[in-house]
């Protein structure tokens, strides 16, 4: 909420009030057959108590945002975000559906709406409500393993069958120290017996204190050949106000140090050569590079200097925009691994149909992409940010197997 002006927050509250007023108008028509006025009054009072309470809470949080502790602020924002979405969207659908049905019936027959029309409206209002509730309380932590095979004639023979697990966008602050939840994902990852584990950024939402207690859990991640990581846009602390530049630097240093504490090699515009019986591949990692307004800390050319002669390179770069802008057809990097988009935490995944509103912002937003001999895989992320749920876009653990073509 702190990235929005007070005027924008007021407009949001007015939109909530408008939709709830229209929803209340239709609610009264549904309640007409109920003879007991006491039941009606209880329902009406509860309706407006929730609406006014939500609006007041949003405004108070915006006004008092700077005086609230960072931990409590994150908790309140995500909670209000979830409440707003789960209230506003179902009511909006309810109002739109019942209005269309009512006026269509009136134009055709010239009569007032039948009882069936408001009941249909209620169904279409409650259906998304229950779907959103499922997204918040169930799907958000239903980790899904996506298995991908990448075939490349650039892959050295001695690396054929290499197993890579990619995880991304943990946003540990959003777990609110519920260590047991992520522990389930750790066990799943280890059961895949990866040669490498790659983490592609956004360890936290903003603050190093979000890492408290997570060292013991994340140290349990095991890989036969190594664990490597890069930073994401949220790891720099750029979305917070700091009392001093020294405080910001200390926060950033603590986040970087944490990678070593859990056994990950943090690649900061650098690369490492991996050798197996004379064959070599390179693991390249850059700092965050994104299209504005995201910062461009990454320096790909610097990272490639020491491994330029190696034929098969794997790039870890948080933002998939980097692939289009600086990687594909501009370098000989075979495989790029990214995250960042979360698949917007909402979309449709039915057999071969994959869609999310995020596709209108990011050309490459989830899954495997290729152009010639170069591949990009974009993780849907393991944690969440903002909306405390996942709708048709479950948290992802990716198993990538490399094969000679």
Chunked mean pLDDT (size 10), the chain, 405 residues: 76 95 87 79 92 93 80 82 90 87 67 62 79 92 98 97 98 95 97 98 96 97 98 95 94 98 98 97 98 93 95 98 97 98 92 90 97 98 94 97 94
Residues 6+ apart with CB under 8 A from 4: 12, 62
**161 and 281 in contact (C-beta within 8 Å)?**
no
Identify the CA nearest to 387 among candidates 79, 58, 44, 23. Answer: 79
pLDDT on residue 2? 45
* Number of other CB atoms surrounding residue 134 within 10 Å: 15
Q: What is the CA radius of gyration of the chain?
A: 25
Q: Supply the DSSP symbol for 391.
A: B
pLDDT on residue 71? 76
In 168-262 the beta strands, taken as DSSP E runs, fall at 196-199, 226-229
Which pTM was predicted?
0.89
Identify the CA nearest to 340 among candidates 367, 315, 365, 357. Answer: 365
Distance CA 329, CA 335 (A): 12
**347 and 354 in contact (C-beta within 8 Å)?**
yes
Q: Between helices 70-109 and 6-31, what is the axis angle to 10°?
A: 50
pLDDT on residue 114? 56
Q: Which token pair is 46?
A: 């509860």
**179 and 301 in contact (C-beta within 8 Å)?**
no
Distance CA 180, CA 396 (A): 17
pLDDT on residue 1? 41
Distance CA 198, CA 338 (A): 10
What domains are there in the chain, each with its CATH number? 6-137 (no CATH), 143-404 (3.60.21.10)
Which residue, chain included where needed, has tokens 């992802």?
396
Q: Which token pair is 24?
A: 């209340």
Q: Supply the DSSP symbol for 401.
A: E
In 27-83 the beta strands, taken as DSSP E runs, fall at none
Q: Supply the DSSP symbol for 138.
A: T
Q: Which token pair is 201?
A: 């950024």
**378 and 367 in contact (C-beta within 8 Å)?**
yes
Identify the CA nearest to 22 among candidates 145, 121, 105, 149. Answer: 121
């Amino acid at each position: 909420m702190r990235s929005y002006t007070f005027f924008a927050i007021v407009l949001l509250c007015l939109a909530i009030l408008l939709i709830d007023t229209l929803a209340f108008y239709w609610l009264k028509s549904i309640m007409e057959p109920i003879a007991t006025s006491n039941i009606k009054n209880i329902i009406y009072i509860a309706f407006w108590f929730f609406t006014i309470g939500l609006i007041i809470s949003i405004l108070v949080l915006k006004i008092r945002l700077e005086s609230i502790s960072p931990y409590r602020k994150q908790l309140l924002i995500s909670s209000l975000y979830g409440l707003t979405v789960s209230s506003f969207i179902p009511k909006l659908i309810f109002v739109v559906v019942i209005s269309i049905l009512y006026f269509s019936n009136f134009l055709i027959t010239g009569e007032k709406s039948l009882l069936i029309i408001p009941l249909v409206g209620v169904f279409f209002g409650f259906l998304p409500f229950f779907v959103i509730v499922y997204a918040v309380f169930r799907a958000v932590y239903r980790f899904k393993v996506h298995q991908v095979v990448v075939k490349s004639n650039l892959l050295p023979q001695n690396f054929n069958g290499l197993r890579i697990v990619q995880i991304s966008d943990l946003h540990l602050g959003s777990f609110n120290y519920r260590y047991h939840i992520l522990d389930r994902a750790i066990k799943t990852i280890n059961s895949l017996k990866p040669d490498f584990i790659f983490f592609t950024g956004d360890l936290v939402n903003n603050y190093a204190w979000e890492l408290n207690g997570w060292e013991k859990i994340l140290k349990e991640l095991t890989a036969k050949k190594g664990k490597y990581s890069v930073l994401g846009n949220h790891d720099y602390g750029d979305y917070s106000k700091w009392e001093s530049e020294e405080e910001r630097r200390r926060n950033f240093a603590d986040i970087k140090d944490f990678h070593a504490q859990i056994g990950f090699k943090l690649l900061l515009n650098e690369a490492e050569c991996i050798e197996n019986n004379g064959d070599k591949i390179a693991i390249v990692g850059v700092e965050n590079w994104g299209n504005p307004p995201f910062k461009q800390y990454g320096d790909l050319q610097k990272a490639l200097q020491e491994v330029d002669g190696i034929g098969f390179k794997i790039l870890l770069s948080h933002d998939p925009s980097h692939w289009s802008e600086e990687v594909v057809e501009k370098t000989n990097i075979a495989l790029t691994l990214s995250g960042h988009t979360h698949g917007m935490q909402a979309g449709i995944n039915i057999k071969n149909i994959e869609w999310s509103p995020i596709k209108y912002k990011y050309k490459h937003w989830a899954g495997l992409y290729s152009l010639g001999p170069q591949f990009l895989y974009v993780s849907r992320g393991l944690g969440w940010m903002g909306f405390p749920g996942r709708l048709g876009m479950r948290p992802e653990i990716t198993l990538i197997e490399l094969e000679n073509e």
